[in-house]
Chain A
Amino acid sequence: MTTTERAQPSPREETVDVWNGRLRLRVKVAGQGAPLLYLHGSTGLAWDPFLSRLAEQYTVYAPEFPGTSAGEPDAAHVIDDLSDMVLVFEEASRSLGLSQPVVVGHDFGGMLAAELAAHFPALPGKLVLISPLGLWRDDLPVATLSAASQTELPGLLFHDPSGDVAQAALAFPEDPEAAVEAAAGMVWSLGSTGKYLWPIPDRGLRARLHRVAARTLIVWGREDRLAPAAYADEFAGLIRDSAVALIDDSGHLPQVEQFKQALTRIEEFLK
């Protein structure tokens, strides 16, 4: 990606057994320092410059959501309820030995991070929610990424879908076999996370957000066409100790489309 300025340390992979051995989460780990738990969005985990930069100051733990790990699609069927899934991630955090980690979540992962913080208020040291899902207003419908056509999808994710950053992020491998793997993986990630988002991405988070105790930064692209930026204030109004950072010229993935701007705001908050 064009925003890469330094060599990215490649993360190592750990596994953590949870749910009485019925689930094995794969976790990408990199960096050193205080723990940071990163929860990816509905299209799956991509280790990107944003995570690499966070890994310069933190030990970043990025678990793959059940079902999204290569070769283990059936893990998507182990858990049915969102509340059980929240318990799974609390167990994972404990098993990894994370003590009051910074919890960062994007999109579906932002919703999961907010749920985790609402169920276990003492778990996160700080909380960063990047365009999180989980709230619904009838006058601000949230688009369904997994029902979008091939032509609609780029515009739902990016402010400038024809820009270099978007094009690089949306590109599939040239090798046909690898392209099939990548496309199928993305489809199954949407299916696996869709279990907790479909048909309306509202599982009652609004009623629980008052329990979040951690200092929280809500990051949103001003031009987000998937989940409108007005949701930033909705989250802020429900989370007691929170601030909003709106990112200019950005769609649903500010940490990708406006990497520097988003990173600066997040680093300031985490200082």
Chain B
Amino acid sequence: MKVTLFEQAPYRFLPSDFEAHHDSVCSTPYSLTTEAGVYSSVVDYIDELMTGARAGFDGISLTEHGQSSYDLSPNPNLVASAVAYATETERLSTAIFPMGRSLGKTREPVRVAEEYAMVDVISGGRLIAGFPVGLSYDASINNGIPPIEVRGRFEENLELILRAWRDRDPFAWNGRYGQFPQVNLWPRPLQEQPPVWITGIGNPRTMQLTLERGFGFNYFGFAGAKLTGKRIFERFWELADQLGLERNPYRMGFLQTIAVSETDARAEKEYGAHAEYAYRKGLGAIPPEMLGLPGGVNIHGVKAMLKDPGDFGMYGTMRTAGFGELADAGVVIAGSPATVRDQLLEYCTTYGIGNLHAMLGFGSMPKDLVQKNIHLFATEVLPHLRTLWQDQGFAHHWWPKRLGGVPLPAAQEHAPSAAGRTQAS
């Protein structure tokens, strides 16, 4: 199993009653911050990612969120490139995994292809390229994309980027959402094609695209994987069966918030308040209408969600949730190394997960506590996870070649033309 260190870059010094008065996205008053608070929230975050790289994680993963107080990372490639260079100079063989640039919102897909190419070059071929559709508020409120166009833009932009990496000759792109008279990247990625991962929240259509195209699929357990995981993972593997595809665990990435201490009791004492901060003031404080602006999800999806909101887990009550509720729902796995290890092993074995993204810094955690969590996890938990799926005959097709991955042949990557092909629905 591959295990990456994942963190977001929350502002760590919000007032204790923040969530009672403010949302965590779009309208959040910047007057709540201080210069020193912003500086340390961002620089400590990068320090912690480097701590993880030095501690032997297989990858460093990060996300993109604009106009949000829970992730000061409007473009993950800025931090990714800093970590790429630093790890290269320290000869650390860790994957650089932005999860990554949202393609539903971008009006500059060529720039995204260029940025990723640069990160791949700087890291010497260690990039894993994530492409989420993007959150509704980020695509449509922060970036002004009509919700009904977000999906179509995502699909078109993805085709353009893959082609821009692959084609040896310059080409013209006449898309529905973007027109470019000449696409000819300098530089291209060092890898023939960086591994591509799509993040999904449960939409079968996204899962299907991921499987059909041979991409990796990331699922984030923010809403409480004890509530949602069985539904999501089984849906994914059933779709794989229908498509006649191998249940290769390396297709699947799972992001989980984890807190390790010497004992279970100590874990709750040390991390409980920070976990509450993270989820009450983060995801829990995103208003529901900002996550599902009309048009962003097609009418069949809207009906499915209204009839069965189970994919949202405990999101609806997160704004006031206590640590106990977060732990019960599986939003956070906290405890001694043995407790955490047992839960993760059982979980990853049951659901066929071959990549774990361990979120070890969250909420208001100070740097020394994040580093404690990273070290305990790396020494007491990680070695036990790493052997999962070993010697079971699965090849990891979704990992950089330089780091032991076995990329799929490029021929599998089908190259459709742009014009009139992308049909949003």
- Interface, chain A (partner B; CB < 8 A): 73-74, 76-77, 80, 146-150, 180-181, 183-185, 187-192, 194-195, 197-200
A149-B287, A184-B302 are known contacts. Are A199 and B295 too (CB-CB below 8 A)?
Answer: no
Report whether A184 and B306 are in contact in the complex, using a CB–CB cutoff of 8 Å.
yes
Q: How far is the CA of A200 from the CA of B145 in the complex (A)?
A: 10
Q: How far is the CA of A200 from the CA of B143 in the complex (A)?
A: 12
Q: How far is the CB of B22 from chain A (nearest CB, A)?
A: 14
B44-52, B79-87, B125-133, B146-154: which one contacts chain A?
B146-154
If A195-B295, A200-B144 are given as contacts, then 10 extra A-B residue pairs at C-beta distance below 8 Å, sorted by A number, are A76-B295, A77-B148, A77-B424, A80-B176, A147-B140, A148-B289, A183-B302, A183-B306, A191-B148, A194-B294
- B272-316 contacts to A, CB under 8 A, are 287-290, 293-296, 298-300, 302-303, 306-307
Closest 4 pairs between A and B when the two form their complex, measured CB to CB:
A191-B295, A190-B294, A198-B146, A199-B144
- For B290, B294, B424, which residue has the most chain A Cβ atoms within 10 angstroms? B294
Report whether B148 and A194 are in contact in the complex, using a CB–CB cutoff of 8 Å.
yes
Report whether B149 and A184 are in contact in the complex, using a CB–CB cutoff of 8 Å.
no
List B contacts of A180 (CB < 8 A).
Answer: 303, 306-307
Q: How far is the CA of A100 from the CA of B290 in the complex (A)?
A: 43
Q: How far is the CA of A181 from the CA of B294 in the complex (A)?
A: 14
B423 CB-CB contact with A under 8 Å: yes
Report whether A190 and B295 are in contact in the complex, using a CB–CB cutoff of 8 Å.
yes
21 example contacts (A-B, Cβ-Cβ < 8 A) are as follows A73-B425, A74-B425, A76-B148, A76-B295, A77-B425, A147-B140, A148-B289, A183-B306, A184-B306, A190-B294, A190-B295, A191-B147, A191-B295, A191-B296, A192-B295, A194-B147, A194-B293, A195-B295, A198-B145, A198-B146, A199-B141
Q: How far is the CA of A188 from the CA of B299 in the complex (A)?
A: 6
- Interface, chain B (partner A; CB < 8 A): 140-141, 144-149, 152, 176, 287-290, 293-296, 298-300, 302-303, 306-307, 423-425
Q: Is the interface of A mostly helix, strand, loop or mixed?
A: helix
List A contacts of B290 (CB < 8 A).
Answer: 147
Report whether A146 and B299 are in contact in the complex, using a CB–CB cutoff of 8 Å.
no
List B contacts of A184 (CB < 8 A).
Answer: 299, 302-303, 306
B149 contact from A147, A188, A195, A197, Cβ within 8 A: A195
Which residue of chain A is the closest to B151 with respect to CB atoms?
A77
B147 contact from A80, A146, A189, Cβ within 8 A: A146
List B contacts of A183 (CB < 8 A).
Answer: 302, 306
Which residue of chain A is the closest to B137 with respect to CB atoms?
A147
Report whether A187 and B302 are in contact in the complex, using a CB–CB cutoff of 8 Å.
yes
List A contacts of B148 (CB < 8 A).
Answer: 76-77, 191-192, 194-195
A147 contact from B145, B152, B176, B289, Cβ within 8 A: B289
List B contacts of A191 (CB < 8 A).
Answer: 147-148, 293-296
A74-B425, A146-B294, A192-B148 are known contacts. Are A199 and B302 too (CB-CB below 8 A)?
Answer: no
Q: How far is the CB of A227 from chain B (nearest CB, A)?
A: 18
Q: How far is the CB of A153 from chain B (nearest CB, A)?
A: 9
Which residue of chain B is the closest to A148 with respect to CB atoms?
B289
- For A80, A181, A189, A200, which residue has the most chain B Cβ atoms within 10 angstroms? A80
List A contacts of B141 (CB < 8 A).
Answer: 147, 199
Q: How far is the CA of A74 from the CA of B148 in the complex (A)?
A: 11
Q: How far is the CB of B92 from chain A (nearest CB, A)?
A: 42
Which residue of chain B is the closest to A146 with respect to CB atoms?
B294
Report whether A188 and B295 are in contact in the complex, using a CB–CB cutoff of 8 Å.
yes
Q: How far is the CA of A195 from the CA of B146 in the complex (A)?
A: 5
Which residue of chain A is the closest to B424 with respect to CB atoms?
A77
Report whether A149 and B289 are in contact in the complex, using a CB–CB cutoff of 8 Å.
yes
Report whether A77 and B423 are in contact in the complex, using a CB–CB cutoff of 8 Å.
yes
Q: How far is the CA of A181 from the CA of B148 in the complex (A)?
A: 19
List A contacts of B149 (CB < 8 A).
Answer: 195
List A contacts of B145 (CB < 8 A).
Answer: 198-199
Q: How far is the CB of B295 from chain A (nearest CB, A)?
A: 2
Q: How far is the CA of A238 from the CA of B293 in the complex (A)?
A: 33
List A contacts of B144 (CB < 8 A).
Answer: 198-200
Q: How far is the CA of A181 from the CA of B303 in the complex (A)?
A: 7
